[in-house]
Amino acid sequence: MQSFISETLDAILKTTKSFEDVVFILPSQRAKVFLKQTLKDKISVGFLPETLNIEQFIQQVSGIDKADSIQLLFHFYTIYKSLEEKPDSFDTFSSWAFTVLQDFNEIDQHLVNTREIFVYIRDIQRLKKWSVTGTFKETEFIKDHYAFLEKLNNFYNPLYQFLLEKKIGYQGLMYREACNNIDVYLEKNQQKKYFFIGFNALNKAEEFLFQKVLETNNSDIFWDLDEQLFNSNHQAGNFIRKYKKEWKFYEKNSLKTLSNKLSQPKNIQVIGASKNTTQVKYAGEILEKFSDFKNTALILADETLLPITLNSLPKNINAINITMGYPLKDIPTTSLLFSIFQLFISQEKLQKTAENQFYHKDVVRFLKHQSIYKLLSQNNASLVDDFTEEIGKENLIFIDKDKLVQLLKKSGENVQKVLLSLFSSFTTVANFLDRILDVIDLLKEDVTDLEKEYLFRFYTAFTQLKTLQSTYNYFTDLKTLMLFFRQLITSETLSFQGEALRGLQLMGMLETRVLDFENIILTSTNEGVLPASSQQNTFIPFDVKVNFGLPTYREKDAIFSYHFFRLMQRAKNVFILYNTEHDAFGSGEKSRFVTQLEMMRQDVIHKNISPKVISNKQQLKEVHKTEATFARLKELAKKGISPSALTNYLYNPISFYKQKVLKIKEFDDVEETVAFNTLGTVVHETLDELYTPFVNQFLSVANIKQMQKEAKDLVTKHFELQFKNGDLTKGKNRLIFEVANRFVTNFLTKEKELLEDDKNQLKIIATEENLAAEIEIEGLDFKVKLHGQVDRVDELNGVLRIIDYKTGMVTGGNLRVPEFEYLRDEKHLKAIQVLLYTYLFTKGKNYDFSEPLEAGIYSFKNLNSGFLPIDFALPRRKAETKITQEKLDEFIEEIKIYIKEIYSSKIDFLEPADLRY
């Protein structure tokens, strides 16, 4: 394959023997590198020509240096503040200023008369407001928008003059000034010969400058377009056809150079893939089949896929050259910096600035970031983990500096100094920026070379922000700085360094200009990506752009059409991938360019691919019992099995194994919102404290009234004990506190209503009583202890009642057990607990069953149903709530079967197939 650069140089070498006074001008920096290499291969000795990309040429002609985008924004705000009586804050200003600068840039690049276009926009707004009847209703928002558009001209001229004096500017300003200076520049460089190579869509300024240079008669321009695209009405040839028709240069000169390579035989595959990841992974599979990557390019139409792509490249790629920058927002250091910002943003939001306390999640996020965790773990591997465990145990929602001092004492002296300084109160934004720089400086000590690059990029960015802040002081608070930083990193990238001419070329669509490759893999060729959607971020309306010759989405479509078809011209193997899925990340429709290519050629192969999905049969968790397991189970038999532990086994043996055999406790997390088990504990403890003074006494209405007076204080007391350091005064916690209070109050009201009937007599026998009993099980050479704590035992009108309190919803159906053989059913688990408490009570007290005995539940979410007793009656039969010795014996025999299962070597712990949660 002979590339366009090679063909062009061959044509130039026919007329040019010495390159001492020759200047080559190309569209991109990458094209310069390839041109120099090709020229070195073609000439054995002599001077290489001066090679410039278009930006460097414009800078030479204009004498203006390009301004950094942040620097430009600060200068613009200076001008804006001097013109406005009530200027926006800097963060609000920066949200629209980038768009305004973009519009100014476009206006200048196309040499539009600024006064005319701004007056035109102003008049359009005034016409919109005009009404014959005078009934146009102008809201404040519309009024502000119209006023803003009318002021655009007021901003343009002062900013232009200000930048001109400083000899810096945005690209458009450089173009306009280059047009003003071109005659002087050419006069000074009469001896030079210019060659423009590989351009396509030129803005008005470039058209003017190129024609001026070509008028000198010793310069030339070489286009790269296929005859098929030029001679037809194809969109890709729009611009070059226009120049051929309009430029005076072509009245005497022929068009150079048109090729006829597009119609030659090629291997073109159009591949539909579901989702972006599948495209990128398949691109990796295609690359695996290549042995040499010298003439191969992987082109990402959607450059946001770069991070995924870098993780999907095959191992046989030994060299790679990346033209795109890696997005700063995807770098780990970004999340660390945001976590530092969030520490203080949350502190201010939650009004903890005066106490200098930090929200626990922000502190843990910062400490557990890989960089800080590694730093703190050097002297003590479990330092951060121990600290977060302590936060959970003490339920610290807010962490003060003293706690952090204790933590950091155990770290190195330098680490302690920098991090303690970071957590201190700060007075100015500049002071905060200093701390960020200190943290970055601290992190650079023990990191990889790649991480050093990350840190250096952020160090330079924050140093620049610090310099600008000390000069202008535009960041009034931390929130403004964070919003600006967020805007900044969305557009900033970290540049890659590498050998430009070695290995696989990984590039974006615009970087392919002038370059040719034999093997091309092009990803994300979807509508909305290639070409991009028609939405444009601008304050200039579409019809105004058309009227003044500014580019719209139509011109941008033509530009991408040119890039796409130019890529195909000299390629031999082309793999075009697109996303077939209709989702938020793409339309699922392949690009119109691909459809055009399929219509132009008969040899395009189309196929769809999908990931190989290997179906894994979901295996239920199973744990075999070992000697160590039985040793633990024997310990448990001696210590005691509670009703809740037994029902946990029946519900999920694996959960029982984890809790009772492995003794894995639940993670002690910080409880910001009161957990449901905490609510239950508070209600139980409150009722226990209320009823304990009346054990072995008959209750009266007066007793209940006294309890009602004390109830709220006791609820508060027990919340303080259970919900350490938690705030119950607002939000969800206040609601949960009120729920707990209502549970207790409603329960006491029910008790009062019961006692107001003189026929009822209620005696409290016990509250929160610990019960235990040992049982013998056939086949086991040891006894098994059962133990539990019954919430309440009372006697109502001569009937002894074993009562369990439940803060959740329980219905009578949960307590209906006509046949014990179906007890394992999940809906009977609560009944098992209550019957076990009954068994333990009767066994421990040697109860003789001479008096009636019942057992049941009070459900605080179903208090209107009152006491819900265990019912042994068959469906649709009269309730049978009396518990007899025979019923309990029959029940405990069933329980022995379950316990025997636990201790059986033949039955493993197996997760149930129908587990709901």
Distance in angstroms (rounded) separating the CA atoms of residues 177 and 172: 9
Under a CB-based contact definition with an 8 Å cutoff, are residues 574 and 267 in contact? yes
Sequence-distant (≥ 6) Cβ neighbours of residue 139 within 8 angstroms = none
392-432 pLDDT, tens digit per residue, is: 888 788 888 888 888 888 777 888 888 888 888 888 888 99
Integer angstrom CA distances of residue 814 from 150, 518, 707, 872: 73, 74, 30, 12
Mean pLDDT of 463-469: 88
Sign of torsion, CA 215 220 223 228?
A: positive
Distance in angstroms (rounded) separating the CA atoms of residues 209 and 196: 11
Sequence-distant (≥ 6) Cβ neighbours of residue 183 within 8 angstroms = 212
Classified as helix, coil or strand, 631 is helix
Mean pLDDT of 224-237: 92
pTM to 2 decimal places: 0.74
Residue reference for tokens 């007599």: 761
- Return the amino acid letter for 804: D
Mean pLDDT of 661-677: 71
Integer angstrom CA distances of residue 621 from 253, 509, 624, 663: 81, 50, 10, 18
- Return the amino acid letter for 904: S
| Rg value, the chain, Cα | 40
The helix or strand, by DSSP H or E, that contains position 455, with its residue range, turns out to be: helix 449-472
Distance in angstroms (rounded) separating the CA atoms of residues 697 and 686: 19
The highest-confidence range among 145-149, 216-220, 582-586, 708-712, by mean pLDDT, is: 708-712
Pairing type for strands 493-494 and 909-910 reads unpaired
Sequence-distant (≥ 6) Cβ neighbours of residue 206 within 8 angstroms = 54, 109, 175, 199
> HSE of 763 in the Cβ direction (CA atoms, 13 Å)?
8
* pLDDT of res. 372: 87
The vertex-304 CA angle with 303 and 307, nearest 5°, equals 105
Distance in angstroms (rounded) separating the CA atoms of residues 570 and 575: 14
Pairing type for strands 320-322 and 504-508 reads parallel
Distance in angstroms (rounded) separating the CA atoms of residues 122 and 338: 41
* pLDDT of res. 506: 92
Give the percent of the chain with pLDDT over 70. Answer: 97
CB-count burial class (<10 Å; 0-12, 13-18, 19+) for 800: buried
Distance in angstroms (rounded) separating the CA atoms of residues 631 and 639: 12
* pLDDT of res. 133: 62
The alpha carbon of residue 686 and the mean position of all alpha carbons in its chain are separated, in whole angstroms, by: 44
The structure tokens listed for 338 are 């945001």
Got the DSSP string for 485-514?
Answer: HHHHHHH-EE-----TTSSEEEEESGGGTT
**How many C-beta neighbours within 10 Å does residue 893 have?**
10
Distance in angstroms (rounded) separating the CA atoms of residues 536 and 553: 8
Mean pLDDT of 18-23: 89
Under a CB-based contact definition with an 8 Å cutoff, are residues 305 and 276 in contact? yes
Distance in angstroms (rounded) separating the CA atoms of residues 728 and 673: 9
Got the DSSP string for 170-221?
Answer: -HHHHHHHHHHHHHHHHHHTTT-EEEEES-----HHHHHHHHHHHTTSS-EE
Query: Dmax of the chain from CA atoms?
Result: 125
Distance in angstroms (rounded) separating the CA atoms of residues 307 and 129: 49
* pLDDT of res. 668: 60
Cβ burial 868-879 (10 Å sphere, 16+ → b, else e):
bbbbbeeeeeee
Got the DSSP string for 788-845?
Answer: EEEEEEEEETTEEEEEEEESS---GGGGB-S-GGGTTSGGGHHHHHHHHHHHHHHHHT
Under a CB-based contact definition with an 8 Å cutoff, are residues 225 and 260 in contact? no
CB-count burial class (<10 Å; 0-12, 13-18, 19+) for 890: middle
Residue 672, pLDDT > 70, answer no
* pLDDT of res. 91: 82
* pLDDT of res. 131: 63
What does pLDDT average to over the chain?
Answer: 88
Pairing type for strands 762-775 and 784-796 reads antiparallel
Torsion angle of C-alpha atoms 754, 759, 765, 768, degrees rounded to 10: -10
Residue 586, pLDDT > 90, answer no
The structure tokens listed for 723 are 């919900």
Residue 617, pLDDT > 80, answer no
Residue 521, pLDDT > 90, answer yes
The helix or strand, by DSSP H or E, that contains position 94, with its residue range, turns out to be: helix 90-109
Mean pLDDT of 117-121: 89
Q: Strand pairing partners for 854?
A: 801
Comparison of pLDDT for 242 and 89, the residue scoring more: 242
Specify the range with the lowest mean pLDDT, choosing from 53-67, 465-479, 639-653, 741-755.
Answer: 465-479
Classified as helix, coil or strand, 92 is helix
* pLDDT of res. 780: 87
Mean pLDDT of 774-786: 91
The structure tokens listed for 616 are 């894994």
Distance in angstroms (rounded) separating the CA atoms of residues 429 and 436: 11
Distance in angstroms (rounded) separating the CA atoms of residues 596 and 891: 79
Mean pLDDT of 221-249: 93
Task: Name the residue among 785, 783, 767, 782 with its Cα closest to residue 643.
Answer: 785
Reported residue count of the chain is 917
* pLDDT of res. 697: 93
With cut-offs at 50, 70 and 90, classify the pLDDT of residue 451: confident
Classified as helix, coil or strand, 697 is strand
DSSP 661: I
Residue 350, pLDDT > 70, answer yes
Mean pLDDT of 604-618: 84
171-224 pLDDT, tens digit per residue, is: 999 999 999 999 999 999 999 999 999 999 999 999 999 999 999 888 999 999
* pLDDT of res. 795: 94
Task: Name the residue among 508, 517, 513, 511 with its Cα closest to residue 568.
Answer: 517
* pLDDT of res. 157: 93
Under a CB-based contact definition with an 8 Å cutoff, are residues 273 and 286 in contact? no
Helices (H) and strands (E) in the chain, counts: 35, 27
253-299 pLDDT, tens digit per residue, is: 899 888 899 989 999 999 999 888 999 999 999 999 988 888 899 99
Mean pLDDT of 240-264: 91
DSSP 692: G
Under a CB-based contact definition with an 8 Å cutoff, are residues 283 and 577 in contact? yes
Specify the range with the lowest mean pLDDT, choosing from 139-153, 584-598, 612-626.
Answer: 139-153
Backbone angles phi, psi at 14, to 5 degrees: -70, -30
Classified as helix, coil or strand, 863 is helix
Residue 904, pLDDT > 80, answer yes
Mean pLDDT of 833-848: 91
SS3 per residue for 354-396: CCCEEEHHHHHHHHCCHHHHHHHCCCCCCHHHHHHHHHHHHCC
DSSP 617: P
With cut-offs at 50, 70 and 90, classify the pLDDT of residue 389: confident
Comparison of pLDDT for 102 and 876, the residue scoring more: 102
The structure tokens listed for 158 are 């002062």
The structure tokens listed for 915 are 């587990």
**How many C-beta neighbours within 10 Å does residue 547 have?**
12
With cut-offs at 50, 70 and 90, classify the pLDDT of residue 78: very high
787-840 pLDDT, tens digit per residue, is: 999 999 999 999 999 999 998 899 988 888 888 877 788 888 899 999 999 999
- Return the amino acid letter for 795: E
Task: Name the residue among 755, 837, 833 with its Cα closest to residue 796.
Answer: 755
Residue 629: asked if its preceding bond is cis (omega within 30°), the reply is no
The structure tokens listed for 528 are 């909305």
* pLDDT of res. 585: 53
* pLDDT of res. 483: 83
